[in-house]
Structure 1
């Protein structure tokens, strides 16, 4: 697999992560989308509330648009780091696992953000600009916090993924050296 293919894969995986993430957060706070995100991403004109016949389709679009670029960034970094692996198969396998590490850390951090938003920020208040006619402010804050923490988690996950990839290279280095010595002695 080439570096370009890894980068493209990063964009696709990042976008798919965003779709799943936003489907979850839409379930928690539909207003976060109907009164904020749909306008932010240009899917609706300013107004009271954007209502669509199939809102989950628009939520998926928002999720993809919000995260594909993070996948691009992660794909570039992990793809370049993946070049330390000498075998193509190992590069692909380790880099895909590293992307999963990134997503797992981002998701876990996002859930921490959700809890923090619900149990701390919603209780103490935030200095955010809220949409008019907001019915469930607590859920809106919790979901906003989850989104913010998820980006932080993506960055932390990328660091963990780079460390993982480097450690995998170090694990396989002694085995390759032994195999080369065996091949020379024959």
Structure 2
């Protein structure tokens, strides 16, 4: 019963955590390209009225976009890590391992997103990408860098989910070939 409680809390908590991650992520990408939001994301999420953002503070609208764009990924992350966590022998180990798996998941998403920013800024922005662009776009290269970071971040979330599940399997002793840094036995003295 305790493990079921950890599962439910994980599934309920991760969408909130994913949404907060999106808020921080989008604050960063707004700094890279405010046009990516004011001329694309605000419109995409219906957060404009007569061509202007629904709030006078664009950073607040960016926070709304960030939450709305990512909260739902937390459902998959929570289900994936929560169900995998059921393999652990007790609720305490399950909870501790799930938390570490989620941190690993978020870290991989963040690093992959930064890689996407670099790829977008250093490569994509200098090519003829087949993306939709607003008619009145001023800084196309920054728009591409921000968009690339967004796309890579979603990919990083998926890779992170896989890595977190593998980590949990490793902790449970189900696999012994990946993630040697997280090996439970490596912390014991010989």
Secondary structure at 1:2's aligned position in 2? helix
1:2 Cα offset (Å): 2.8
Deviations along 1:34-91, whole A, 9 cap, x unmatched?
Answer: 00001111111474x6474211111111111111110111100100001111221111
What residue in structure 2 maps to residue 176 of structure 1? none
What residue in structure 1 maps to residue 22 of structure 2? 18
Query: Which 4+ residue blocks in structure 1 deviate beyond 6 angstroms?
Result: none
Q: Identify unmatched segments of 5+ residues in structure 1.
A: 174-186
1:3 Cα offset (Å): 1.4
Give the superposed CA RMSD: 1.7
Q: What is the TM-score of this pair, normalised by structure 2? A: 0.86
Contact 1:117 / 1:142 at 8 angstroms: preserved in 2?
yes
1:70 aligns with 2:73: yes
What residue in structure 1 maps to residue 117 of structure 2? 114
- Distance, in Å, in 2 between the alignment partners of 1:84 and 1:159 is 16
What residue in structure 1 maps to residue 57 of structure 2? 54
- Distance, in Å, in 1 between the alignment partners of 2:60 and 2:34 is 13
- Distance, in Å, in 1 between the alignment partners of 2:171 and 2:64 is 35
Which of these two proteins has the greater Rg computed from alpha carbons?
1
Return the structure number with greater helix share. Answer: 1
Deviations along 1:85-129, whole A, 9 cap, x unmatched?
Answer: 122111111101101111111111111110111111110121111
Question: How many residue pairs get matched?
Answer: 172
What residue in structure 2 maps to residue 178 of structure 1? none
Q: What is the TM-score of this pair, normalised by structure 1? A: 0.87
Matching of residues 1-186 of structure 1 within 5 Å? 1-45=5-49, 47=51, 50=53, 52-170=55-173
What residue in structure 1 maps to residue 177 of structure 2? none
